[in-house]
Amino acid sequence: MTIPSPKLLKAYYIKNVNSNVPRIHDLLKLSVNADLELTDKQKDFLDEVTTFNIKARYPDYKYRFHQRADL
Q: What pLDDT sits at residue 64?
A: 64
Q: What pLDDT sits at residue 57?
A: 61
pTM passes above 0.85 = no
> Residue 2: what residue type?
T
Q: Which range among 7-11, 32-36, 53-57 has the greatest average pLDDT?
A: 32-36
Mean pLDDT score of the chain: 77
Q: Does position 40 have pLDDT exceeding 90, yes or no?
A: yes
The set of residues, in sequence order, having a beta carbon less than 8 Å from that of 16 and lying 6+ positions away, is: 34, 35
Q: 17 or 64: whose pLDDT is higher?
A: 17
> Residue 6: what residue type?
P
Beta carbons of 49 and 8 less than 8 angstroms apart: no
For the chain, percent of residues with pLDDT exceeding 70:
66
